[in-house]
Amino acid sequence: MKQSDFLKVVLPFKDKVFRLAKRLLVSNEEAEDATQELLFKLWKSKEKIASYKNVEAFAMTMTKNYCYDRLKSKQASNLTLVHSNYKENETSLDKKLEYQDSVNQVHVLIEKLPEQQKIIIQLRDIEEYDFEEICKMVDMKPTAVRVALSRARKKIREQLTKNHNYGVS
Amino acid sequence: MELANIEQLVEKYLDATTTLQEEATLKNYFTGGNVAIHLQEYAYLFNYFATAKEEQFKKTINLAPKKKRNLTWFSAAASIALLVSIFFGKQQYDKHEQRKEAQRIYVQVSKGLALLSSNLKKGEQAVAVLYTYENTINKILK
């Protein structure tokens, strides 16, 4: 496999890898490094890839595992992830800004979910994979994926309604 | 799309039993503006999903292996350099010590010789005195 062939395979899903990494690692730089590292890993095992039917699913699984490892080593070294582009104040009267804030809030709410639910929300609601693919990527049974997804969605909705009502009254 | 239908889909969505197609319908409805007020929070949700999907990995992909400096070679070279410098250093030091020792011995020896020579001089003078003494005696006796 030549470099150009490899890029042809990889380019369609590099953004998905990056977004998943960012969902899990939060920081932009971390996610960029992770993506770079993963693509390089894929490149190194290019002989194996040629025989895979679904490189994308394989790459997503790799991303998930890699980010888990990163998170683990981070916890070990006591580094905490901080999210910075979330504004706490919602006193603005500007309707549009408020709307934007509410949209941004979803980001924070997803961030508060357990890792597994984060991944599933990312894969389903943002990347729009079908259940079969998601099951392969996260190595879970279909029912378990559905339960986790349902929980995550309900949790986000519940929090959004709560925040929204609080803002109104 | 009728509101009742959307409401039904939303319920299914929360139970995670919607198909991708149904979710696309929801996405269309909620990102299109014109959302029923009691479903407003879903508009936030689906708008977020839509914007989140637009994020891209903008860095150029680098497939060349990272230039990791090979530390083993560095350490090997460093240890060899250290050994060599210790070896030559020791040699230099020994030479230096030897020279110092030689100088010390030289000073001592020359001091001893000086002492010897001054003593010899004294003896010579004494002998010279004896010679003159003997000469005068001989002259007188002649």
Give yes or no for residue A140 having a pLDDT over 90: yes
- Whole-complex ipTM: 0.81
Alpha-carbon distances of A112 from A20, A106, A116, B101, B123, rounded to whole Å: 15, 10, 11, 80, 111
Interface test with B, best of A40, A111, A125 (most B CBs within 10 A): A125
CB contact, 8 Å: A104 with chain B?
yes
Give yes or no for residue A88 having a pLDDT over 50: no
Alpha-carbon distances of A145 from B14, B17, B97, B140, rounded to whole Å: 13, 11, 82, 145
pLDDT classification of A89: cutoffs 50, 70, 90 = very low
Residue A150 burial class via C-beta count within 10 angstroms: exposed 0-12, middle 13-18, buried 19 and up: middle
Cβ within 8 Å, pair A99-B44: yes
Cβ within 8 Å, pair B45-A146: no
State chain B's mean pLDDT as an integer.
Answer: 90
Q: What is the pLDDT of residue A169?
A: 47
Tokens of B96: 């230096």
Q: What is the pLDDT of residue A164?
A: 74
Per DSSP, the residues of B71-90 read HHHHHHHHHHHHHHHHHHHH
Percentage of chain B lying above the pLDDT 70 cut: 96
Which residues in chain B have their CB less than 8 angstroms from residue A17's CB?
Answer: 57
Alpha carbons A135 and A141: distance in angstroms, whole number: 6
Q: Specify the amino acid at residue A78.
A: N
Helix B40-52 crosses helix A95-111 at what angle (to 10 degrees)?
70
Beta carbons of A124 and A134 less than 8 angstroms apart: yes
- Among A103, A147, A161, the residue with its CB nearest the CB of B51 is A103
Q: B103-126, pLDDT tens digit by residue? A: 999 999 999 999 999 999 888 888
Q: What is the pLDDT of residue B41?
A: 87
Cβ within 8 Å, pair B52-A7: no
Per DSSP, the residues of A102-119 read HHHHHHHHHHTS-HHHHH
Q: Specify the amino acid at residue B104.
A: R
Question: Residues A70-96: what's their mean pLDDT?
Answer: 60
CB contact, 8 Å: A99 with chain B?
yes
Greater confidence (B50 vs A99) lies with B50
Q: What is the pLDDT of residue A82?
A: 56
Question: Residues B2-14: what's their mean pLDDT?
Answer: 92
Name which of A78-82, A147-151, B13-17 the model is least confident about: A78-82
Give yes or no for residue B85 having a pLDDT over 80: yes
Give yes or no for residue A91 having a pLDDT over 50: no
CB contact, 8 Å: B38 with chain A?
no
Domains along the sequence of chain A with CATH: 1-82 (1.10.1740.10), 87-169 (1.10.10.10)
Q: What is the pLDDT of residue A83?
A: 54
Domain ranges of chain B: 3-52, 82-142
Q: A20-53, pLDDT tens digit by residue? A: 999 999 888 889 999 999 999 899 888 888 788 8
Name the residue in chain B with its Cα closest to that of A146: B16
Beta carbons of A106 and A156 less than 8 angstroms apart: yes
Give yes or no for residue B68 having a pLDDT over 70: no
Alpha carbons A135 and A123: distance in angstroms, whole number: 10
